[in-house]
A and B are shown apart, each in its own frame.
Chain A
Amino acid sequence: MISPKYAREIPQRYRLEAAKCKSCGKINFPPRLVCPRCKSREFETVRLSNEGKILTYTIIRVSSDTFSHQTPYAVAIIETNDGAKLMAMIADSDLNEIEIGKKVKLVFRKIQDEGVWGLHCYGYKAVLI
């Protein structure tokens, strides 16, 4: 059962909420208790830009059972326009069109199903723009 963990991550998965350090300005995603750059514990909540670019990516051809019906698919590290880095699946795209540096938009999608009886788990994926 992943429900408690899933519920705790809703602000990040649904709304891209990050913690901006009030001392040095570093944007932490997901939020941290202590800023890894300046060790401050003071943050403000900000929402990340939903646009960015692909820093790197890989094609998954042999996946875990949860995602096996979606293979082959791409997973990328995205840098958002405000400098945060996050990992996301790339949806709705021809794998041959995916390249490092290409611009993407983060969209709201279903990430996985908890079996046939459990939760639908939602979050962000990237699509090429």
Chain B
Amino acid sequence: MIGIVGYGSYLPRYRVKVESIAKQWGSDPEAIKRGLKLFEKTVPGMDEDTITISVEASKNALKRAGIDPEKIGAVYIGSESHPYAVKPSGTILLEALGIGNDVHVASYEFACKAGTEAMYTAYSLVKADEMEYALAIGADTSQGAPGDALEYSASAGGTAFIMGKQNVIAEILFTHSYTSDTPDFWRREHEFYPRHAGRFTGEPAYFKHVVNAGKKLLEKSNMKPEDFKYAVFHMPNGKFPQIAAKKLGFTLEQIETGWIVPWMGNTYSGSSPTGLSAILDVAKPGDKIFMVSFGSGAGSDGFIFNVTDKIVDVQDKAPKLKEMLDNNKIYLDYGEYAKFREKIILNQ
């Protein structure tokens, strides 16, 4: 049996409400809340980035896995906000966690699906018997240009998964990836903010890839939507995953637990992985989970998980996602948010 042996998330304490952003740009917050189904989002502290988020999420994953960090043979961090253009984020993480130096490390980028790339590679290496454990992380401090629609969604957070064969809490039964050259969203070298093709990011990008990956995954597994207790899709806003779920035959009840985007925002590479974390916090043995990520450019990774008896032993060993999402919030106004996200040009 191969799958997740430990999982953990981290969300910053800071939040900004849709009202604060809309007021700045003269927009109607009610129209945005109604249209995008977004209410507030997480904001990283001035001392937080993809690396610090990854470290804290991984500490929680290690608490649940209960393993010696030195047994981890690979560290993959998926993000589109790696702090360095040249220097892997994982090098800092492996020192912070005490993983040691006999480890394979890489930084992944694929817009919002870099986290599930890391999960797929980590799972595959364990499956190939190359190592006992592999650590996969999806984390971001995503960027949205001032005044752009992305400013309402681009948020911060991440989730870590340790893949292994012993004491598996969620077995990976099937995977499928669907990829094409679709120019819906990009960021050129040296550009601070990404660009996107507006409505083109919807039907030909998000829905085409999520639905095709999902359909192939159902075909491959010979399973039906009603066989699953939970489903989670990439959450660029509140509306898209609801539509994708309907297109594939899932109900809103099946996606409700992992649909955390209205209060978290889009954590990009950490989006569907963090939704999965929220599901694992409450899942019961025997539950089946359907997951499809999406990364612009574009592609989707799909996974089917079977929750095992071991899940109940680990759920309380680290903070749960809803606790992090609902408690200890510090709200920022737009000026503070702009300062935190370094949107104000300062003299050096």
Q: Which residues of A contact B (CB under 8 A)?
A: 10-11, 14-15, 47, 69-70, 91-92, 107-111, 115-116, 120, 122, 125
Contacts and interface: CB of A to CB of B under 8 A. Distances in A.
A107 B346 contact: no
Contacts of B12: 92
A99 to B, nearest CB: 17
B52 A108 contact: yes
A116 B348 CA distance: 8
B31 interface: no
A109 B48 contact: yes
A91 B45 contact: yes
Contact of A122 (B46, B59, B92, B330): B92
B47 A69 contact: no
Contacts of B98: 15, 47
A14 B96 contact: yes
Nearest to B51: A122
Interface of B: 12-14, 45-49, 51-52, 55-56, 59, 83-84, 92, 95-96, 98, 330, 339, 346, 348
Contacts of A110: 47-49, 51-52
A48 to B, nearest CB: 13
A109 B47 contact: yes
Nearest to A68: B346
Given A15-B95, A15-B96, A125 B346 contact: no
B49 A10 contact: no
13 contacts: A69-B46, A69-B346, A70-B46, A107-B56, A108-B52, A108-B56, A108-B59, A109-B45, A109-B52, A110-B51, A110-B52, A120-B51, A122-B96
B226 to A, nearest CB: 43
B184 to A, nearest CB: 30
A14 B56 CA distance: 12
Contacts of A116: 348
A109 B339 CA distance: 18
A125 B48 CA distance: 11
A122 B330 CA distance: 23
A86 B339 CA distance: 29
A122 B278 CA distance: 28
A119 to B, nearest CB: 9
Contact of A120 (B14, B46, B83): B83
B49 A120 contact: yes
A91 B339 contact: no
A69 B83 contact: no
A69 B339 contact: yes
Contacts of A125: 47
Given A109-B47, A120-B49, 18 more contacts: A14-B92, A14-B96, A69-B339, A70-B46, A91-B45, A92-B45, A107-B52, A108-B52, A108-B55, A108-B59, A108-B96, A109-B45, A109-B48, A109-B52, A110-B49, A111-B47, A116-B348, A122-B96
Contacts of B47: 70, 91, 109-111, 125
B16 to A, nearest CB: 15
Nearest to A17: B98
Contacts of B59: 108
Contacts of B330: 92
B105 to A, nearest CB: 15
A122 B52 contact: yes
A116 B342 CA distance: 12
| Residue of B49, B84, B96, B346 most packed against chain A (CB within 10 A) | B96
A111 to B, nearest CB: 7
Contacts of A47: 98
Contacts of A92: 12-14, 45, 330
